[in-house]
């Protein structure tokens, strides 16, 4: 073990925790004009509506009230301390819309809904004046998130349209929030779809692709377009295209809450995919239309830095942007009862902000789940050592990052030039072992990349996600001469590797039923033809569905697959040496007080030949192989000679009796 490096990282972790504890609730820098009170741009009562806007560089601000598209009233706002502007309009204005217009350097900017609009008109150019109590579904005040053990967590990533748009989903509201809230939906073959399918599979956390209002779909004709939603426009109101009535600003809020409650009632936690690292075209967003040049990182020539690859990158290190992110996330937890967040291009955000987010959200929900992409599309315009890159994950306790290490090891890199372990390609053993250990320091792992996790719970283990080819299309491209039987064995082995690793397992929607995107890689704006799941696949590939379902159940039955700490991983996980370049095995041992089994043997053979493994001598219960999962075990295996043969392209799990 590289003990000096481990000690150094432990010291760094302690320092990081100390930094969090010393962080002020509202971080400030000299010269910044930041209000201490929470941001609340519109406050409604039947007697009056109060408007506030942070615009410290403005010379004048007006708020305009609209009845539909008709301007009814224009009110000059008064400058207050800390860069705030304020106006109060008497009378019951519920049902009207509002927009701010800011004047800077003698120029009146375009109207904007502000930066914290919580209800919107169609396409989100104006805010809506509503009574939020009217958006709560029945028994909303009784809604509670399910209690889920950390060792049981299984994340399932999905897009509303993917899960419900195909006719085979059998839902009443295809492509909508309410479509995913429906219970009792069935395919033509009579199999559970949508929400019932998630419950049936045994996943615990449902990762919803971007749900905050985004600018890439014309909400006035939502059914004709598709988008993943990574072009945020208004961060604090739901996207209208997923609502049954885009013209009703209350509907999208009520229907998203209805979905959250339905998932909670079904025992599922809800994770939102959030995209604070960039916005849609900056010139059309509230940030630039209230305080030009502040919320983004700007180059010396006045152009937008572009670490996101989407035209701009936000500046989380600036006190108001940091305050904004924290309060926005708190709002989603308080108003919508959200249980976790996945951060798109998390490495664009600074570590101090991410640690503050974790601290503040844990105060609201100690079980909050936080994870993100530990990379950026290009180099951000900020000190790299202060940013939330994957390699610094150990400096962000309680926050996880996606592991491209185990992903690439199992299935190959993004460019499709070569496969990985499941294709029988040698050279992936150490990266796979690194992933199996949950990205922590381990004396038997010699991966080229340094350990980046302080705990295995910081390691998101996955083989595919929405972004890139899905697994079936990758397999068919890289192994064009393989039979379908061989391809399905490879798919099973890939899932096997994910669910037996010490990290948090993550699965992309439909992979358990061998979905296809017709060979397309980046389907972010392609029609339902490429993205919608055909639920007849659940019947056609029922064997794969049951295999993944079994892996999830097996993981829950055996906490040893989620030991939780780096020390426990080093104490209880030992790798089995094997000369085959595409074979990996390990033993989970001395499990008294941790697991019902005292020893678990896990073996993976990605090669195209049978491989003999040396295992501890003893009598075992057979739990898994390349064909099926037997959660309670079936039959016995006598390893009195300390040997076992594992078939090509398969995995085996044994429990010592």
Catalytic residue among 344, 404, 441, 625: 344
Q: What pLDDT is attached to residue 224?
A: 82
Band (pLDDT 50/70/90 cuts) for residue 223 is confident
Average of pLDDT values for 591-616? 97
Rounded to an integer, the average pLDDT of 219-245 is 94
Using the Cα atoms of residue 540, residue 542, residue 544 and residue 549 in order, give the sign of their dihedral. Answer: positive
Closest CA to 416 of 521, 565, 268: 521
Kindly tell me if the per-residue pLDDT of 600 is higher than 90.
yes
For residue 461, how many other CB atoms are within 10 A of its CB?
Answer: 28
pLDDT tier at 150, thresholds 50, 70, 90: very high
What does the buried/exposed string (b/e) look like for 329-360 if buried means 16 or more CB atoms within 10 Å of the residue's CB?
A: bbbbbebbbbbbbbbbbbbbbbbbbbbbbbbb
Q: Per-residue pLDDT averaged across 495-499, rounded?
A: 98
Give CA angle at 490 (403, 534), nearest 5°: 90
Q: Is the dihedral of CA 187, 192, 198, 202 positive or negative?
A: negative
Q: What is the pLDDT of residue 18?
A: 38
Q: Residue 8 pLDDT more than 70?
A: no
Question: Nearest Cα to 614, choosing from 594, 592, 586, 593?
Answer: 586
Residue 29: is its pLDDT beyond 70? no
Picking from 420, 503, 518, 397, the residue whose alpha carbon sits closest to that of residue 469 is: 518
**Cβ-based neighbours of 156, under 8 Å, separated by 6 or more:** 198, 201, 203, 205, 206, 207, 506, 507, 509
- pLDDT higher than threshold 80 for residue 294: yes
H, E, C per residue of 72-126: EEEEECEECHHHEEEEEEECCCCCCEEEEEEEECCEECCCECCCCCCCECHHHCC
Measure the CA–CA gap between 12 and 17, rounded to whole angstroms: 9
Helix then strand then coil, in percent of the chain rounded to 5, is 35, 25, 45
Determine whether 373 is an active site residue.
Answer: yes
pLDDT band at 23 (very low <50, low <70, confident <90, very high): very low
**Section 117-131 average pLDDT:** 98
Question: Helical H runs in 468-508?
Answer: 471-478, 484-499
Residue 344 annotated among the catalytic residues of the structure: yes
Catalytic residue among 373, 441, 468, 511: 373
- Where is average pLDDT lowest: 191-195, 220-224, 301-305, 591-595? 220-224
pLDDT at 340 over 60: yes
Domains of the chain: 42-135 (2.60.40.10), 149-560 (3.20.20.80), 573-656 (2.60.40.1180)
Mode of pairing for the β-strands spanning 60-67 and 70-76? antiparallel
**More confidently predicted of 531 and 284:** 531
Arithmetic mean of pLDDT, 433-458: 97
User: How high is the pLDDT of residue 105?
Assistant: 96
pLDDT of 34 higher than 50: yes
- Tens-digit pLDDT profile for residues 372-410: 999 999 999 999 999 999 999 999 999 999 999 999 999
The whole-number pLDDT of residue 26 equals 41
Predicted confidence (pLDDT) at residue 28 exceeds the cutoff of 60:
no
**Residue 2 pLDDT exceeds 60:** no
- Please give the Cα distance from 221 to 241 (Å, whole number): 8
Confidence of residue 32 (pLDDT cuts 50, 70, 90): low
**Mean pLDDT on 325-347:** 98
The first and second tokens of residue 563, run together, are 């030991």
Dihedral sign (CA 99, 104, 109, 112): negative
pLDDT at 6: 39
Per-residue pLDDT at 31 exceeds 80: no
Q: What is the mean pLDDT of the chain?
A: 94
pLDDT of 22 higher than 80? no
């Amino acid at each position: 073990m590289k003990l000096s490096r481990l000690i150094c990282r432990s010291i760094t972790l302690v320092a990081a925790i100390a930094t969090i504890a010393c962080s002020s609730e509202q971080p400030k820098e000299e010269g910044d004009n930041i209000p201490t009170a929470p941001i609340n741009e519109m406050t409604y009562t039947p007697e009056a509506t109060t408007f506030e806007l942070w615009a410290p560089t403005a010379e004048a601000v007006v708020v305009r009230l609209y009845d539909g598209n008709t301007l009814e009233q224009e009110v000059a706002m008064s400058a207050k301390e800390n860069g705030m502007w304020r106006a109060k309009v008497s009378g019951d204005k519920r049902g009207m819309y509002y927009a701010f217009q800011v004047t800077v350097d003698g120029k009146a900017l375009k109207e904007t809904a502000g930066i914290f609009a919580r209800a919107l008109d169609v396409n989100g150019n104006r805010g809506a004046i509503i009574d939020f109590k009217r958006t709560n579904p029945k028994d909303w005040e009784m809604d509670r998130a399910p209690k889920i053990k950390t060792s049981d967590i299984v994340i399932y990533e999905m897009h509303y349209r993917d899960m419900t748009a195909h006719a085979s989903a059998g839902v009443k509201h295809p492509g909508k929030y309410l479509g995913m809230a429906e219970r009792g939906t069935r395919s033509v073959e009579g199999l559970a779809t949508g929400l019932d399918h998630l419950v049936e599979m045994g996943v615990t956390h449902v990762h919803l692709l971007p749900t905050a209002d985004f600018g890439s779909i014309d909400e006035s004709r939502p059914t004709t377009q598709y988008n993943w939603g990574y072009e945020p426009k208004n961060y604090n109101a739901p996207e209208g295209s997923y609502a049954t009535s885009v013209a009703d600003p209350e509907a999208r809020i009520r229907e998203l809450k209805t979905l959250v409650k339905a998932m909670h009632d079904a025992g599922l936690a809800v994770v939102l995919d959030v995209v604070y690292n960039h916005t849609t075209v900056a010139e059309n967003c509230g940030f630039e239309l209230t305080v030009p040049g502040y919320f983004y990182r700007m180059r010396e020539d006045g152009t937008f830095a572009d670490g996101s690859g989407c035209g701009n990158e936000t500046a989380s290190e600036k006190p108001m942007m940091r305050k904004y992110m924290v309060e926005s996330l708190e709002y989603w937890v308080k108003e919508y009862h959200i249980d976790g967040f996945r951060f798109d291009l998390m490495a664009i955000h600074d570590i101090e902000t991410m640690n503050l987010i974790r601290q503040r959200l844990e105060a609201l929900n100690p079980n909050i789940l936080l994870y993100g992409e530990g990379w950026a599309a290009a180099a951000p315009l900020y000190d790299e050592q202060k940013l939330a890159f994957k390699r610094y994950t150990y400096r962000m306790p309680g926050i996880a990052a996606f592991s491209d290490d185990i992903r690439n090891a199992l299935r190959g890199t993004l460019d499709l030039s070569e496969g990985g372990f499941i294709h029988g390609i040698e050279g992936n053993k150490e990266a796979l072992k690194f992933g199996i250990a949950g990205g922590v320091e381990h004396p038997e792992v010699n991966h080229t990349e340094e350990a980046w996790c302080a705990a295995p719970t910081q390691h998101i283990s996955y083989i595919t996600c929405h972004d890139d080819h899905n697994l079936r299309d990758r397999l068919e491209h890289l192994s064009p001469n393989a039979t379908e039987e061989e391809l399905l064995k490879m798919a099973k082995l890939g899932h096997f590797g994910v669910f037996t690793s010490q990290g948090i397992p993550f699965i992309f929607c439909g992979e358990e039923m061998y979905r296809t995107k017709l060979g397309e890689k980046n389907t972010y704006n392609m029609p339902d033809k490429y993205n919608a799941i055909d639920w007849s696949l659940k019947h056609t590939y029922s064997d794969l569905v049951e295999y993944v379902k079994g892996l999830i159940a097996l993981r829950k039955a055996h906490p040893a697959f989620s030991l939780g700490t780096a020390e426990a991983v080093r104490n209880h996980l030992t790798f089995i040496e094997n000369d085959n370049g595409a074979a990996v095995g390990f033993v989970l041992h001395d499990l008294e007080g941790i697991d019902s089994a005292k020893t678990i043997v896990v073996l993976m053979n990605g090669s195209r030949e049978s491989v003999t493994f040396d295992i501890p001598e003893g009598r075992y219960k057979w739990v898994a192989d390349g064909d099926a999962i037997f959660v309670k075990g079936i039959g016995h295996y006598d390893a009195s000679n300390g040997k076992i043969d594992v078939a090509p392209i398969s995995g085996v799990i044994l429990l010592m009796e």
